[in-house]
Structure 1
Amino acid sequence: MNRAPPAMFRVLQVISALLLAVMLVGCASGGGANRVAAGKSLPAPDTTNSAGAYEGANDYRLGAQDLIEVSVFGVQELSKTVRVNSNGQISLPLVGGVMAGGRTIPELEKELAKRYAEGYLQRPQVTVFVKEFSSQRITMEGAVKNPGIYPLTGKISLLQAVAVAGGLDPLADLNGIVLFRQVEGKKMAAAYNMRELRSGRIEDPALYGDDIIVVEQSGSKSALRQFLQSVPAFGLFMAL
């Protein structure tokens, strides 16, 4: 698993400082576009990395290293699990190499049906299922045991992501879990209390590709720490 470089953490510290600055400006001006909303979930992102990607939605575009399962109804011999290579291609029985990268699932199904219909099968019914979304990644930073960049292999929540990263560092602040996400062209952030998440008193949020999770260290004097101390840390979010 690739570790996030020290430079990444410095970038996140800058983001945290900007977050605090924007929040203070928003408070001074009485709110507006930069607002903090307590008790609400962070919206889903506005990219092809959205929730639908993990449910086979039509707008998800396949990428390198995605693992897909191709099935042809009634022809078990043609069913195969393949990984999209670095050039975006897959190789299948009879039809050989097919470009999958950049295509949506319906687009690939249509292309494969066309290929199999050209001299092989009559009205083939092709189904494509994504088993691993390896082109989608999340970043775990701060006070977790194994910080780094992790591929998404399906649906995953914030608690599950912390577990994948080896759990929290003993010095982690349970009240200092911050999720950064791009929503409608804006960087947004939500702070969570680990005790509240574990108890089920607040919803365990689903994660999406390009999400960044930062776990603050107990006793830290960073800008992120000041932000967390200034607002209630449960399901709140703000636009940057």
Structure 2
Amino acid sequence: MSAGGGRLRYCVSNTVMSEEFTLKRTIRMHVIPRAASANLTFALVWALVLSAGLGLAACSSYGTDTGGNFVGANASGGLVAPDGSRGQLDPGNTMQAQYVSDIGGRPEYKIGASDVLKITVFQVDDLNRSVQVSGNGTITLPLIGQVTASGRTAQQVESDIAARLRARYLQSPQVTVFIDQYNSQKVTVGGAVKKPGVYPVKGSLTLLEAIATAEGMDNVADPSNVVVFRDQAGARYVGRFNVDQIRAGAMRDPLMQNGDVVMVDSSGAKTVLRDWSPALNALSTTATFVSVLK
């Protein structure tokens, strides 16, 4: 603070890049006369309102409402996917989101390449082992050779192994196949979550469960704007979901698929409050007003 007894003034310039979830801030410090400080509280309030409005505008332009389903994204246009590619929504090309209630329960996990299976044959220790599914989707076991695993459930692989052993070697084999490592199916969770990353799909996974796997949303998340990118049959689809509505039962919780990318948007006002808290805490009791300019 200067010898003239002025107060600190923080000027924040916000540029919201809605399609890339980017909020750039430039902070400059100035000294202003003490007499002008009485109006600065109002400036702060209006700045937060403005920031919230900018955040909502960003959400609406990035996550166009898809009605809880997936809409095709053309290869050119303004929509930016997590991999940096751009696209434009194609309302004429839609794909229904899948829900547990529609398929009569959670689908069984289908084994894939790189998964690790633990195979146990009761009272035949020499046949017990852990094997990794090869790139061609098979495993190799003593006595019976190659067994197709990819695209099957653990129970289907059990039945196949037992049938082959029964045909030539054992009278009544009891085979257990346990999926020890889930490596073939993954989803990516990013944006305003506590632990962004790539996570395995173990059995079935819903949107809420995917976010929970990333330790939940952080304190600047906007639950009303969660975007899921999905590639299927050579085409890209985008779905927008409202997590608050899912939690309240007003919207169903969609099942995730291998390769899905979940992006949780952030609230502009919450982001501003978070980023300013160190500066606000650093102000002395005599420098209590903060102003914000666009």
Using the size of structure 1 for normalisation, the TM-score is: 0.58
Please list the CA deviations of residues 186-208 of structure 1 after superposition, one character each: whole Å capped at 9, or x if unmatched. 32222111211222222112212
Distance 1:63 1:215, change over 3 A: same
- After superposition, residues 172-211 of structure 1 pair within 5 angstroms as 172-183=221-232, 185-211=234-260
Matched residue, 2:195:
146
Distance 1:53 1:194, change over 3 A: closer
Which structure 1 segments of 5+ residues have no match? 1-9, 27-32, 45-50, 221-240
> Which of 57, 82, 91 matches 1:12?
82
- After superposition, residues 1-240 of structure 1 pair within 5 angstroms as 11-12=81-82, 14-15=84-85, 17-18=86-87, 21-23=88-90, 26=91, 33-34=92-93, 42-43=97-98, 54-55=107-108, 60-64=110-114, 66-70=115-119, 72=121, 75-77=122-124, 80=128, 82-84=130-132, 95=143, 98=146, 102=150, 104-105=152-153, 106=156, 109-111=159-161, 113-115=163-165, 117-118=167-168, 120-122=169-171, 124=173, 126=175, 128=177, 130=179, 132-183=181-232, 185-219=234-268
Q: Provide the rounded CA distance (Å) in 1 between the counterparts of 2:190 and 2:163.
A: 43
> 1:168 Cα deviation (Å)?
0.8
> 1:125 Cα deviation (Å)?
6.0
- Aligned residue for 1:55, secondary structure, equals coil
Using the size of structure 2 for normalisation, the TM-score is: 0.49
Contact 1:134 1:151 in 2 (8 A): yes
Which structure 2 segments of 5+ residues have no match? 1-79, 270-294
Q: CA RMSD in A?
A: 4.0
Please list the CA deviations of residues 73-113 of structure 1 after superposition, one character each: whole Å capped at 9, or x if unmatched. xx354585735266667576x64975555463546742563
> 1:160 Cα deviation (Å)?
1.4
Identical-residue share of aligned pairs (%): 31
> 1:139 Cα deviation (Å)?
0.7
Q: Provide the rounded CA distance (Å) in 2 between the counterparts of 1:69 and 1:54.
A: 21
Distance 1:154 1:81, change over 3 A: farther
- The higher radius of gyration belongs to 2
Contact 1:133 1:152 in 2 (8 A): yes
Distance 1:86 1:115, change over 3 A: same
Please list the CA deviations of residues 42-66 of structure 1 after superposition, one character each: whole Å capped at 9, or x if unmatched. 148xxxxxx999515xxx45321x2
